């Protein structure tokens, strides 16, 4: 009896395999079913597909390391670069800046009329180790920071405003002072 059961179980297994493979009696009557396209069923991550444009470095400016896509900030046009070069070539930057301003421009907002370009760098007299008390008795450190601020018309990329300024704080000017080297306004 065990022998007959063994043969019957084997025959049943073979029949099940043949039916699963499509080799049964009604296999010729079955229509082929299209397999779903796997690519269309997967969720598409739009962020992963967006092209990332690494920020370029100019002669006198660089982008911060956290910015991985320069298309989020205003485009540095030759006109803007000329303003940066003009100011940067007249000042002495701290060795830590490696001769470049940090382009920390504001991220573009939808439908804005003007883009803002902000660059800054430490000057050669910037010293976090040189502390002193200002006229209010507060302990501060010596500072020298250069700023470049520009406004650019969003649709034409034409520069409409330029300001160069220096922020200083040292023992000779204990309260710190911001002085404007040059300001250009276009109307």
Q: What pTM value is reported for the model? A: 0.67
DSSP 3-state of 114: strand
Three-class SS of residue 2? helix
pLDDT tens-place string over residues 76-121: 899 999 999 999 999 999 999 999 999 988 877 878 999 999 999 9
Question: Residue 41: what pLDDT?
Answer: 46
Assigned token pair, 6: 């063994």
Pairing status of strand 159-170 against strand 127-133? unpaired
The whole-number pLDDT of residue 174 equals 74
Q: Phi-psi region for residue 162, left (φ > 0), alpha (ψ -120 to 50) or beta?
A: beta
Cα–Cα–Cα angle for 182, 183, 187, rounded to 5 degrees: 150
Q: Is residue 131 within 8 Å of residue 96, measured between CB atoms? A: no
Whole-number pLDDT of residue 173: 85
Instruction: Extract the runs of DSSP E, i.e. beta strands, from 25-172.
Output: 61-62, 101-103, 114-122, 127-133, 139-153, 159-170
Q: Distance between CA 77 and CA 158 in Å, rounded?
A: 9
């Amino acid at each position: 009896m065990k022998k007959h059961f063994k043969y019957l179980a084997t025959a049943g297994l073979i029949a099940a395999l043949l039916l699963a493979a499509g080799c049964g009696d009604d296999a010729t009557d079955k229509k082929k079913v299209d397999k779903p396209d796997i690519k269309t069923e997967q969720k598409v991550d739009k962020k992963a597909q967006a092209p990332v444009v690494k920020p370029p470095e100019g002669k006198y400016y660089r982008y911060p390391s956290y910015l991985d896509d320069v298309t989020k900030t205003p485009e540095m046009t030759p006109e803007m670069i000329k303003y940066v070069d003009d100011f940067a070539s007249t000042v002495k930057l701290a060795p830590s800046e490696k001769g470049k301003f940090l382009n920390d421009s504001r991220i573009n907002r939808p439908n804005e009329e003007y883009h803002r370009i902000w660059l800054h760098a430490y000057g050669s007299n910037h010293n976090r180790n040189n502390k002193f008390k200002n006229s209010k008795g507060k302990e501060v450190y010596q500072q020298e920071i250069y700023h470049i601020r520009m406004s650019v018309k969003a649709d034409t990329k034409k520069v409409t405003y330029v300001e160069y300024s220096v922020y200083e704080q040292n023992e000779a000017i204990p309260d710190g002072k911001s002085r404007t080297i040059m300001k250009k306004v276009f109307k």
